[in-house]
Structure 1
Amino acid sequence: MNKESFAALILQAPGQIELQYKERPAPGDRDVLVKVLYCGICGTDRHIYKGSYPATFPVTIGHEFAGIVEEIGQEVSHTKVGDFVSVNPNIWCGRCTSCLEGVPHLCSQMAALGVDLNGGLAAYCTVPEQLVYKMSPATNPAAACLAEPISCVLHGLDRLQVKAGYRGAVFGGGFIGQLMLQIMKLEGASEVILVEPQENKRKAAEKLGFVCIDPISEKHKLAALVDLDVTVDCAGAGDVLSQCAKATKPGGSILLFAAYPKGKQVPIEPFELFRKELKLIGSFTYPDTQVRAIRLIESGQLQLESLLTEITLEEVKDVLEGRLDQQLIKGIVRLS
């Protein structure tokens, strides 16, 4: 292995992941080469690994990452070597109807780093300049890699339109659910409850000051959870969507945020949506919220560090296969 080689985690096909050493790439004319400091592992990575989310193989997964610009292409004009950046992984075509109508995150030709192109679970990643966002060099890099999931949560809550004084509940206490709780509170919700069966996730939320319900051992509390202004499905499992409908008040809104596997069907009673005139709102990635996410990270208003566990590249497979679910909320890999 020469000094220009670097480690990368390659997903050859669903369920087939390998640690390889690759030659350091050179950026294209409009690209920057990012030396990755941290990369987060998320539910979408798990779906890609299991083959339930479309991706282009082989690929270096990982779309939540931040690092230092190591090299720039000849036509790069707004980014310089040494900049500390987070990355928006989504590349839009700019020509389809969605792009032209101002909703580029719904682009029909969208490609993404870590999904269709090599992403952040590698020491280096080539990134189009328009996808990098400068951050304060004083920012904790372990927090900086979370700009992408925080941006997604902000977009979802923008669609949900949480207002000051609202009462709400989040179903699912993974990292996204923990972000939802905190940001809903920042947006003025007077009460936000977590519904989560796993004890470690409830304890994490309780340490952040949130009331939690175990839907398995506390079914009476779940049944009493009614007349909420908003509910959020961050679980993507079982009958959670139906539980959200039961807990939401007439005229209220449900945010479907969980990435259910393609083709999966879940039970829900249409009459309840009809009779209560509920709004069922979908949310997919984000078009324009990364600057706000960076401000939240840099301001320190989100409690993030207690939710993070640093893992190695060799441990990523255990996370993707769910073997560490009882031990961590959010796994992040330190690359440099």
Structure 2
Amino acid sequence: MAEKWNTVARLVSPRRLVLRCDEVSEELPPDFVRIRIEFCGVCGTDRSFYLGHRDEGYPVSLGHEHCGSVIAIGEQITSYRVGDFVAIDPNYRCGSCYYCRIGASHLCENSAVNCYSNRGFATFTDINAAYLVNMPRYRANQLAALVEPLSVAINATSISQCKPASEAALVIGVGGIGTLLAFNLLESLDGEIWIYDKAPHKMAALKDLYPDRIRILERADNRVFDVIFEASGSSDGFLDACARLAKLGRLIVVSRYHSDEPLVPDRLPWKQPTLYFVHLNGHRRTFIKAANLIKDRWSIEHDSLVSIHHIKEIEYVFADYERISSNKKIISTTDNY
């Protein structure tokens, strides 16, 4: 095997990420593919692990928004070749259970089989081929690290049945997933949207790209909205969304409240709202749609929303996450970006 050592970022305790070198196995299971990882986005779930809000035992490897090139294939693999550029869809889909048959394969009854292996903050990963998706040819490979979170945003938008041209829509929280929600709403639908985030520079970055289609909500503004996407990751964001939701409104919760789960306000049921909790990306075709939307609509100007950091800086990225001005952070294991 040409590659002998794998640099892997592991969380060994809350707020302590370390880089370890693992020996690369000479064996590759017959239904697995070996990938040289190039980029992996930082998700709010990764951040919650880092802060100790979730404890599934230590050490733990993080990262699931990764992409890279195939460098070896198992003997049973026919759908991929060495040199293919792929991204990882972290949802197992058996293809035959009830949920897979009705187009909700992200809820697969057999997802607990968990063939999902080494995570994305590493230089290599061996992964079951069922999780791979071939990517289009991008102008820059780091764009493929946006595909998985964008697929979640597309699924949330689809479930919401939002029509910004005829109803008031608000995105609360424009970090990574909120920014991609705004991107999908503006690039796929007509009309304008409102955004709110406690960090003014994140709102300004989006407003600069869409000056005529984004309106920034002031904290003191008490207007209500027909559709609200809650992507702040905090219970305060959820409570704010409940307060701003119109009667018969639709609240789409993309946040995951790992450490501070909010209670539903007493008065919310009187609005007769519809609540959706959307954390996953739906059918596999949503992933394909996200890959193509990034290729067709993510411009060089959109790159200003993203910052890229070498894996050697990963501890800094997680520790100073809120002080890094970009809306979305991506970790790179290559120097060629």
Conserved? CA contact 2:10–2:62, under 8 Å: yes
| Other-structure match for 2:4 | 4
Q: How many angstroms apart in 1 are the aligned matches of 2:215 and 2:149?
A: 23
Q: Count residues with an aligned counterpart.
A: 325
Q: How many angstroms apart in 1 are the aligned matches of 2:122 and 2:290?
A: 24
| Other-structure match for 2:159 | 159
What SS does the corresponding residue of 1:245 show, helix, strand or coil? helix
Deviations 1:87-128 (A, max 9, x none): 112235678765576533234663699x97311111111121
Partner of residue 212 from structure 1, selected from 209, 216, 219 = 216
Partner of residue 271 from structure 2, selected from 255, 270, 276 = 276
Q: Which 5+ residue runs of structure 2 have no aligned equivalent?
A: none
| Other-structure match for 2:242 | 245
Q: CA RMSD in A?
A: 2.6
Structure 2 residue 123 is the aligned partner of structure 1 residue 123? yes
| Other-structure match for 1:200 | 201
Q: Residues 5-84 of structure 1: matches in 2 within 5 Å? A: 5-25=5-25, 26-53=27-54, 55=56, 57-84=58-85
- Residues 160 and 39 of structure 1, relative CA distance in 2, 3 Å threshold: same
Cα distance, 1:137 vs structure 2: 3.2
Structure 2 residue 280 is the aligned partner of structure 1 residue 285? yes
Structure 2 residue 259 is the aligned partner of structure 1 residue 255? no
- Residues 172 and 34 of structure 1, relative CA distance in 2, 3 Å threshold: same
TM-score (norm 1): 0.87
| Other-structure match for 2:187 | 186
Q: How many angstroms apart in 1 are the aligned matches of 2:244 and 2:175?
A: 20
Q: Which 5+ residue runs of structure 1 have no aligned equivalent?
A: none
- Greater shift after overlay, 301-310 or 289-298? 301-310
Query: What is the identity percentage for the equivalent residue pairs of Structure 1 and Structure 2?
Result: 24
Q: How many angstroms apart in 1 are the aligned matches of 2:46 and 2:54?
A: 8
What SS does the corresponding residue of 2:68 show, helix, strand or coil? strand
What SS does the corresponding residue of 1:154 show, helix, strand or coil? helix
What SS does the corresponding residue of 1:294 show, helix, strand or coil? helix
What SS does the corresponding residue of 1:253 show, helix, strand or coil? strand
Deviations 1:174-202 (A, max 9, x none): 12111111211234252211111212212
Q: How many angstroms apart in 2 are the aligned matches of 1:265 and 1:112?
A: 28
Conserved? CA contact 1:233–1:254, under 8 Å: yes
Q: How many angstroms apart in 2 are the aligned matches of 1:177 and 1:27?
A: 38
